[in-house]
Structure 1
Amino acid sequence: MRVLVTGASGFVGGAVASALADRGDAVVGLGRRPDGWSHPGGRYVRRDLLAPIDDLGAFDAVVHAAALADDWAPLPEAMRVNRDGAVAIARALPQARLVHVSTASVYDARRPTVLGHEDAPLPTRYLSAYSASKAAAERALAGRAAAILRPHAVYGPGDTTLLPRVVEARRGPLLPLPGCGRALHTLTRIDTLVAATLRALDAPGDVDVVNVGDAPAVPLADVLQRVLAARGEPARILPLPVGAAMALATAAERRARRTGVRPRLTRYAVSQLGMERTLDLTRMRERLGLEPRPVDLAGAADW
């Protein structure tokens, strides 16, 4: 199978592209960085998502993993990359089987997500441009994508988002966490997301929207402390009441809008860290034939 993978220079796209090339598929990876994905069985092309791709030939399938994963990005830029980029790829390859990597951040961030189900109505207002633009991409691809995958808090070797943000949030030996980090979270190891993507590509028909994650759900603080300890950077949790953290984030965002300086804390971050974010994984089992695996922190010292 000839497969195009967007976002190949990133954490998720690179892992998916390598897995496809490892199993013998002919892979072309698109990315924004000059030193992006590399594999003996694949080809990397540096290109913007909205640029023409006619010169790359025909593809049997496309995995759209490219995204601007920034909760403080300007809304127009987030929409350009996350919504318009998805639409451009779908239009350029109308015959290819499309698997779109979305996010569980499309669920309502203003309240806990408790065993969030794929059929739950999505909100009309969001706390971040990232969530709003990813939801807009899902709406734009409805009826076109064979699968839309919704992972949450993707972790594992090569992580460029979750762990770096945790390390940045530390204050010496303390790790401030809204709600003390006791809220349950469905986490998604990169291996789980890669396996789900390959199953979605190989499925005989459309699988629609599917949550992707590990089970059982775990308290976020436990995972973060174990990962930091494995890296030789142990931290003690500094509990912050969610309400107080949200008030601080609101003030920080207002200040950031006045000064143009990125806030250290956002309402989106508070909502994601301090409230339950668990997913119903029934569809992953039934439509992809994939059993959730336990949260796996093996090798965390080298992430």
Structure 2
Amino acid sequence: MKILVTGAAGFIGAAVSQYLINRGDQVVGIDNINDYYDVNLKHARLDEIKSSTAADLFSFIEMGVEERDKMAALFEEHKFDRVVHLAAQAGVRYSLENPNAYVDSNIVGFVNILEGCRHNNVEHLVYASSSSVYGANETMPFSEQHNVDHQVSLYAASKKANELMAHTYSHLYDLPTTGLRFFTVYGPWGRPDMALFKFTKAILEGKTIQVYNYGNHRRDFTYIDDIVEGVIRSLDNVAKPNENWDGSNPDPSTSKAPYKVYNIGAQTPVHLLKFIETLESALGIEAKKELFPMQPGDVPDTYADVSSLVEDTGYQPSTDVETGVKAFVDWYRDFYKV
């Protein structure tokens, strides 16, 4: 297949691109290489793909999904079979500082993706949503059947908006769409703004780590390889209409349109202080901690019910946090020569 991967220089986008070309798909990757975090890491991810044995199946274009005319021309030229849309302005806390970045990338950019798919007969659009859409919901584990109308950050609201927009296009234009609510992704090549990366860097530099909510967070940390598996399985399982969907008792995760939303997580929430202990063990260094209250926009716990994804695709997360953290630490030490 010929597949567009947006956010191809990103953490998940680069890993998905590598997997797709390894199995023989042709991938066109796009990314605007913005400076939200170190652009050298983004270029290094791309270099890793370009140095792989299947590199001839990968081509890269530097552009942003918010660039409407360029996006329309890209779709028109390449006639993609399927699209994996992972480009977005990430980060909950940053959305409090720069809300316009989220509107441009996550809202305007998503419309451009939908329009490209609609006008060029794309077979299936798989896009990144987020566990943050559950917002103020406290029922655990989070299920796709739960209400998701009380987001607590603009980032989360933009992801919920993506799900609503996708359903509209699935309904109006019969475009198969699948949204994936990612739960705290970590692993080698990860993002510097995420806790594991920040903690590792600070501990190795002998600095104090800042631990929010006094370390009482629980997160459904999901290893990158498990995430990629779920993305690929979802891509290959084209969304179909739910013939039994009932508008008087609606299932939020399906529709009479070819529309689906899945959680994609590890199903094993880990207490933040336990996670830090696991990191200390992998590094062989005890962390100096400074405890702070919970930050605006954060939620105390995340915990994914992934039974729907398991049932429909055979997805099975298999990487425990000890294995995953060690793999990240080994990568970090090698990449940064620490």
TM-score normalised to structure 2 length: 0.73
Counterpart CA distance in 2 for 1:70 and 1:227 is 22
Structure 2 unaligned spans of 5+: 34-38, 241-258, 333-338
Contact 2:176 2:238 in 1 (8 A): no
- 2:117 counterpart residue number: 93
Name the residue aligned to 2:296: 267
Are 1:225 and 1:236, in contact at CA under 8 Å, matched by a contact in 2? Answer: no
- Among all aligned residue pairs of Structure 1 and Structure 2, give the percentage whose two residues are the same amino acid: 28
Which shows bigger deviation, 88-97 or 33-42? 33-42
* Counterpart position of 2:265: 213
Match of 2:279 among 227, 245, 252: 227
Partner of 2:143: 117
> Structure 1 residue 152 and structure 2 residue 183: aligned?
yes
Partner of 1:299, secondary structure, is: helix
Aligned: 1:138 with 2:163: yes
Where does residue 30 of structure 1 map in the other structure? Answer: 30
Alpha-carbon RMSD across the aligned residues, in angstroms, is 2.5
1:282 aligns with 2:282: no
Which whole-Å CA distance do the structure 2 matches of 1:25 and 1:69 have between them? Answer: 27
Counterpart check, 1:291 vs 2:316: yes
Counterparts of 1:145 and 1:75 in 2: how far apart (Å)? 29
Q: How does 1:58-69 map to 2 (within 5 A)?
A: 58-69=79-90
The one of 194, 210, 233 equivalent to 1:199 is 233
Q: 1:165 to 1:225 in 2, by over 3 A?
A: same
Change over 3 Å in CA distance of 1:105–1:19 after alignment to 2: same
Q: Is the 8 A contact 2:282 2:326 kept in 1?
A: no
2:133 touches 2:159 (CA, 8 Å); kept in 1?
A: yes
Distance 2:261 2:21 in 1: 25
How many residue pairs were aligned?
A: 274
What is the CA deviation profile of residues 11-55 of structure 1, one whole-angstrom value per residue up to 9, with x for unaligned ones?
Answer: 111111111011110000001128462431200111111332324
Unmatched 5+ stretches in structure 1: 247-265
Which residue does 1:9 correspond to in 2?
9
**2:130 aligned partner, one-letter code:** T
- Kept in 1, the 8 Å contact 2:266–2:304? The answer is no
Distance in 1 (CA, whole Å) between partners of 2:201 and 2:138 is 25
Aligned counterparts of 2:186 and 2:127: Cα–Cα separation in 1: 19
Post-superposition CA distance 1:91-130 (Å, at most 9, x none):
112221100011101111x454520111222224x43221
CA positional deviation for 1:165: 3.7
Q: Distance in 2 between matches of 1:120 and 1:81?
A: 27
Question: C-alpha deviations, 1:177-236, integer Å up to 9, x for none?
Answer: 344434432111111111011101111544711111113222122223322442455315
Give the Cα–Cα distance (whole angstroms) in 1 for the partners of residues 109 and 22 of structure 2: 27
2:133 and 2:180 map into 1 onto residues whose CA distance is 11
Quick one: distance in 1 between partners of 2:221 and 2:18? 22
Deviation of 1:69 (Å): 0.6
User: Which residue does 1:45 correspond to in 2?
Assistant: 61
8 Å contact from structure 1 (residues 231, 300) kept in 2: no
Matches within 5 A, 1:160-199: 160=191, 161-162=193-194, 163-167=196-200, 174-199=208-233
- Counterpart code for 1:49: V
Q: What secondary structure sits across from 1:28 in the alignment?
A: strand
Cα shift readout 1:59-108 (whole Å, capped 9, x = no counterpart): 11000000101332322320110122112012112221100011101111
Cα 1:233–1:45, aligned 2, differ >3 Å: closer, same or farther?
farther
Q: Which residue of structure 2 lines up, in the alignment, with residue 75 of structure 1?
A: 99
Tell me the TM-score normalized by structure 1: 0.81
